[in-house]
Chain A
Amino acid sequence: MTMTNEITVLSNNPIVTTGSWVNDEPYLAAKDVKEVLGWELKTEGLCRGDSCIPLGDNVDSNASDSYNLSQLANLIGRPSLAEKNLGIVAIGQSHNKRSDALTKRIAPDFTLPDISGADRALSDWAGKKRLLVAFSSW
């Protein structure tokens, strides 16, 4: 019998969901994958819009229709770090987006809150020249 646990997934925003740990690997129910990764599990594979990536032998699942979250993230080019003792899985940004930024010069879009808490996206200023300034308030 597999024990279900609360798992905090640190993706773009923290999401608390239920899942299980198998050999120190985090497993999520198929129905919860979309909320965490933005990609949905279908019979064709891991899908978003018209795009589907077959799971093949790359993603383990169990009899409870749960799937290895780290392997699913890896399938879409996102690194992860699972800490069973903390009940936390951190999922990084897409390697493909960063690679496109560095090699093809395509600026990846992102959304972050401004100082008043309102979401702002790079694409809000599409069609204009922009300076992306990363700094700290220290």
Chain B
Amino acid sequence: MDKDHLLTELYAISNVPSVIWIDENNMIARPAASEFGTDTFTEITGISRETHMQQVRDWVRKGVLPDDASYSVPDLSEEEVQARLHFRIAAHLRREGREEEAGAHFDRAAELAPLDFTIVRASMPLRGGDPFGEEFFELYQKYLDAGAPFHGIPRASSSN
């Protein structure tokens, strides 16, 4: 349970689900990629679970890594780092029942990282919104229009 989103900072995660492969030597064998445990959202994302699961089997059984495992994930920008700090303050204030003050920091976080799902979408249910509602689909369209930027292996890479 990562209520303050520590992993989004430690591993530069900006969308969920994100999956990172870590080997026996504590090295990241494959960096963050959007992967799913089911095909519930395949119609929207175009991502099949089975492709990833077969890659995992090949890695575990044969030590084979997909070509995209060498992809270098870019670091967070200063704005994205600050957005995470605003999100943390907002989440803390919300837990204390200080909704108005929390809202100001959720807003600031979204201004700093407007296409970061761990910021913008994650704040929707915390502010009474619907993470599957109109607000989300507006965000998703903006994200697609911007070329689907996130800190992870692009879906256009060779594994797909």
Chain A interface (Cβ < 8 Å from any Cβ of B): 8, 10, 12, 14, 79-81, 83, 86, 88, 90, 92-95, 97-99, 101-103, 105-108, 110, 112-115, 122-123, 126-136, 138
Contacts and interface: CB of A to CB of B under 8 A. Distances in A.
Contacts of A99: 75
B24 interface: yes
A56 to B, nearest CB: 23
A14 B92 contact: yes
Nearest to A94: B10
B23 interface: yes
Given A90-B88, A128-B24, A132-B22, 6 more contacts: A12-B6, A83-B89, A88-B89, A112-B6, A131-B22, A136-B17
B85 A98 contact: no
Return the 4 tightest CB-CB contacts between A and B, nearest first.
A81-B85, A93-B9, A135-B17, A138-B131
10 contacts: A101-B11, A106-B26, A107-B22, A114-B1, A115-B1, A126-B26, A133-B35, A134-B8, A134-B11, A136-B131
Nearest to B5: A134
A10 to B, nearest CB: 5
Contacts of B9: 92-93, 98
Contact of B81 (A79, A103, A107, A136): A79
A127 B85 contact: no
Interface in B1-59: 1-2, 4, 6-13, 16-24, 26-29, 31-32, 35, 37, 56, 59
Interface of B: 1-2, 4, 6-13, 16-24, 26-29, 31-32, 35, 37, 56, 59-60, 72-76, 81-82, 84-86, 88-89, 92-93, 101, 121-122, 124-125, 131-132
A23 B130 CA distance: 40
A129 B1 contact: no
A58 B86 CA distance: 24
A134 B82 contact: no
Contacts of A114: 1
A57 to B, nearest CB: 23
Given A79-B81, A102-B72, A108-B10, A88 B92 contact: yes
